[in-house]
Amino acid sequence: MSVAVEVAVDVRCRVGESPLWDVRDACLHWVDISGQAVWRHDPSAGRTTRWSTPEPVGCIAPRASGGFIAAMQTGVYAFELGETLAPRLLAAAQHPAPQRFNDGRCDRQGRFWVGSMFPDPAQARRNGRLARLDAGTWAPPLLEDMIVPNGLAFSPDGRTLYASDSHATVATVWAFDYDPDTGRASRQRAFIDKLPAGRPDGAAVDADGCYWICANDGAAVLRYTPGGRLDRRIDLPVAKPSMCAFGGAQLDTLYVTSIRPDGDGALAQPLAGAVFACRPGVRGLVEPAYAG
């Protein structure tokens, strides 16, 4: 089944990531990690706004008490989108400089899961980890010795946690049994050994429980059934899609952020760094908010 893909927001982010549809304002939000920015796009008004951040920002999530949280380099911060962005520290990072946070999202109970990594993945340093922040307190990490933690998502019933290491030397997505009452994950197993093209990046889960994963360097978004079978592919006009999220009034639009490569790579991909959208014929889920 062919799906038409269009440019939803005509920007050129260096490392576009963490798309988030916020049902509170019916707007799409995302970040530019290297560009140190948070973006918002209001599709009803056709208006796009950018806020600068004081540090690289890996991901954002809504906050139940209002506003958002952002995993930056030195910690997890709370912020509101006003005239300026004035982040307030909620929890200091446990990783040493120059590491930074990368992919993250909340479980259905409002615990924030986030991975950390060395800023230059080409060095393949195995000092990243995946941990959860619960009401301002860090739990012991679930995974350590990671290079690029990524692909976080939860099944609709909240009982399966998905996570990956997207570095080319690993490129594996795992599934875990997840206890919603305690926030503990167990029984790690391979969910996707290798993608048919590229490597796994950011992900989303639809209302049917299928796992949508961006194939970075594979120019596509792929959907896997809960049993781990590839059943859909949506091709994109850029090599490096980075993360996807469902949005729109019916949560039936799939938004995809992307990365703009340096040098000649950018010249060959004039749309790289934009946000794309398509209607894949399924709906997503409301993104949970951080409870702390």
Residues forming the active site: 201
C-alpha distance from residue 35 to each of 11, 15, 116, 264 (Å): 12, 7, 18, 19
Distance (Å, rounded) from C-alpha 66 to C-alpha 147? Answer: 33
β-strand 172-179 against 149-154: which pairing, if any? unpaired
Distance (Å, rounded) from C-alpha 135 to C-alpha 106? Answer: 12
Amino acid, res. 50: R
Distance (Å, rounded) from C-alpha 183 to C-alpha 69? Answer: 19
Closest C-alpha to 261, from 217, 218, 207: 217
Amino acid, res. 78: A
Collapse the DSSP code of 268 into the 3-class scheme (helix H, G, I; strand E, B; otherwise coil) and give the result.
helix
C-alpha distance from residue 189 to each of 19, 62, 151, 167 (Å): 27, 29, 15, 18
Buried b (16+ CB within 10 A) or exposed e, 266-279: eeebeebbbbbbbe
